Structure formats: structure tokens, C-alpha cells
Amino acid sequence: MEQMKTQHPTLEERYAAFKRDGYTVFESVYDDEMLRSFKETFHRLQDNGIDRQQWWFANTCELAPKQMLPAVTNPLILDFAEKVMGPFVQLDNLTLAGFPSVSLENRNKTGWHRDRWANWPLTEDYTSPLSVNAISYLQDLTDEYGPLRVIPGSHRMPVGIPAEERGKPHPDELVLYVKAGDVVFTHNGLIHSGTQNTSGKIRYFYSVYYNKTWLKHTDNHGGPNVQRIVSEARSRNDHRTMRLFGADEQLQARANSGFLDTDEEMWVKWAAADKAAVKG
């Protein structure tokens, strides 16, 4: 008997869930070869750095463009980011990190937070985020490696967590044991936390953090490798790739469009126009 194929949610279904829950999980976005490349890049950066105990690397699209650019420009993730924020998607920062193992007494220790550019939700109405995170892990998350914890719907809840409770599991949490190569896409207002790694091995993680193009970006996009990416994108009229690195040539017109149609209607038109304009 032929096995039934797994039905993945459509972008529309994901968008509805994202607005409700504040996150969605894309399964098996990156294959073993790409995960191996990310690990090799991490160790190369660590070995070549001044401090060989450095575990957190920013500006990684400049440091390793060949290996890291595919994570920034993944079309599935970018299509969803534009659905969530409109065609105003800029790379805030690209982080590649390893978390060393800690003692078992720290197991289940958390660090609850909302992300950069978030705010305290004032109502329970959904608000389009100023920034989003596309998080991935280079190994399956287990209790030993430290799962991701989220509080679904907290991006639209005017609630917080007392300081003395921020290092503990939360009664409303959902624990996500995501697989290597999955991408967890989160609203910046979602309360979430990693969990301490007690596996005895490195817990590898990377974050493609996007924000709106009129905000400042954390990574420095002025280096020669990134500027070469921008120049090549400009030569083929690829506005989406240019925009990722702070060169949004459409921003002034779109930020002053009159706003007499819904945001989502305009976003679809603008995103389609950008794709149609690409040469080759």
C-alpha cells in the first residue's frame, strides 16, 4: 500500500497559526550537508579567532558568505517573512553559536524574554512584528541538549514573568523538541527561552534575525563580502536581496503609498513586482 504523503501547511495556514500562536515550525528546511557546513564554519571561525573560547559569532554573512548566505536568502523563509512583515525584510543580524555543556544541576534552567524591537503588548489584538527570528539547530533538541520553550500567544498578551521566575519552566509553556534542520519562525513579541545544555557536547544554534528596513541593523553590512552581494544583486535588479543588506530602493515610495488599501493587499502586489523585476 502506498504510504500517505505528509501534508505540510500552506503559507496561509502558517500565517493564521503564526498570528494566533506567535510562531510556526518549518520542518527539514536544511539538509545534512548544509548543517555540516554550518558546523564546520563555526569551528573554523573559532579556530581562527583571537579567542578560541569564543562561542558566539555575529556578522557571519561577512565572515563566511558562501556558507551562510543560503540561510539568509532561503526563499521559503523569505516568502513567509514578507507575508508577515511585507516586502520590507532586512537582515538585522546573522548569528552562529555553540553553547557548551553545563553541569546537570542547571538542567531545565531557562532565560525567558521577548526579542529585539519588541514591546509590551497593550491589547490582545494581533500586531505585525517589527522583527522576526528564523531559528535553527544543528542537532535534534532533546532534554539533554536543551529544548526550545515558548508561551503560545504571548505576543498578544499584556503579561510578563517576575524576575525570580525567569530562570524556571513556566506553567503555560510549550516545549519544542525540534529536529536538526528545522526552522522555528518567531514573532519578536513571543515570550520564549532556550534551555541549558547538559548533553556533554556542544549545542549548535543559528539565528537569522530580520527586521523592517527602516530600522537600524545590528550586523555591519558595509564589509567587502556583503557589499559584493549587494552589487551583484543590483546588477540583476534583485530588490529583495539588496533590501536584506540595507539597500531598499523601494522604501520611500512604499512608505508613502497613501495606505488606502490593506497592508496585506499591498504587500502581495509589491512582493510580486519585486520578483518580476529580477533579470535572468
pLDDT digits (tens, 9 = 90+) for 185-228: 999 999 999 999 999 999 999 999 999 999 999 999 999 999 99
58 in Cβ contact with 77 (< 8 Å): no
| Averaged pLDDT, 4-32 | 90
Averaged pLDDT, 140-166: 96
* Amino acid type, 38: F
Mean pLDDT of 174-185: 97
Identity of residue 3: Q
Q: Tell me the pLDDT tens digit for each residue of 42-59.
A: 999 999 865 667 899 999
| pLDDT at residue 2 is higher than 60 | no
- Give the global pTM: 0.94
The fold of the 11-273 domain, in CATH, is Jelly Rolls (2.60.120)
Please tell me the predicted confidence (pLDDT) of residue 19.
97
Radius of gyration for the chain, computed over Cα atoms and rounded to the nearest angstrom: 19
Q: Which CA distances in Å does 75 have to 20, 60, 266, 277?
A: 23, 19, 20, 16
CA distance to 19, 153, 228, 269, per residue, from 241 (Å): 26, 31, 12, 17
Give the pLDDT of residue 52.
66
The H-assigned helical ranges of 105-185 are none
Q: Please give the angle made by the CA atoms of 243, 75 and 251, to the nearest 5 degrees.
A: 20
Q: Is the pLDDT of residue 269 over 90?
A: yes
Query: How far, in Å, CA of 157 to CA of 233, rounded?
Result: 40
Pair 179, 27: CB distance under 8 Å: yes
d(C-alpha 42, C-alpha 137), whole Å = 13
- 62-89 confidence digits (pLDDT tens): 999 999 999 999 999 999 999 999 999 9
Residue 4, pLDDT score: 46
Q: How many CB atoms lie within 10 A of CB 59?
A: 19
The percentage of residues in the chain with a pLDDT greater than 90, rounded to a whole number, is 90
Mean pLDDT of the chain: 94
The residues that bridge with 205 in the sheet, in sequence order, are 97, 137
Q: How far apart are CA 14 and CA 73, in angstroms?
A: 19
- Bridge partners, residue 203, by sequence: 99
